[in-house]
């Protein structure tokens, strides 16, 4: 049994997750969670899903908050510090 890999028609994120999360193409003795017909997204706890979820939260939060300006100032200060060496 091999882990399921979504087709491109399932959506970009599931397709990329299928490629990245199963890059080593492991083999299992028992059925895998995604082998049922119609099951595409068994990647809910994958690193990529969490990364996109966290990025979405940060982007949505930054629209309503001024902390983004603080991060820009911090990045500018770090750049100046690096250049002063």
Domain that holds residue 55: 48-84
Residue 71: inside a domain = yes
How many structural domains is the chain composed of? 1
pLDDT digits (tens, 9 = 90+) for 1-42: 777 777 788 788 888 888 887 778 778 787 776 666 666 556
Residue 32: inside a domain = no
Give me the DSSP letters along 20-72. HHTTT----SS--GGGSTT-----TTSHHHHHHHHHHHHHHHHHS-SHHHHHH
Whether pTM exceeds 0.85: no
**Block residue for tokens 């199963």:** 22
Residue 74: inside a domain = yes
Residue 38: inside a domain = no
Write down the pLDDT at residue 79.
Answer: 87
Average pLDDT over residues 60-68: 66
Residue 21: inside a domain = no
In whole angstroms, how large is the CA radius of gyration of the chain? Answer: 20
């Amino acid at each position: 049994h091999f882990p399921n890999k979504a087709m491109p028609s399932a959506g970009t994120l599931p397709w990329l997750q299928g490629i990245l999360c199963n890059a080593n193409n492991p083999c299992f003795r028992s059925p895998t969670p995604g082998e049922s017909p119609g099951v595409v997204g068994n990647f809910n706890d994958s690193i990529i899903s969490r990364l996109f979820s966290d990025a979405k939260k940060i982007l949505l939060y930054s629209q309503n908050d001024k902390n983004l300006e603080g991060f820009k100032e911090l990045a500018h200060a770090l750049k100046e510090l690096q250049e002063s060496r």
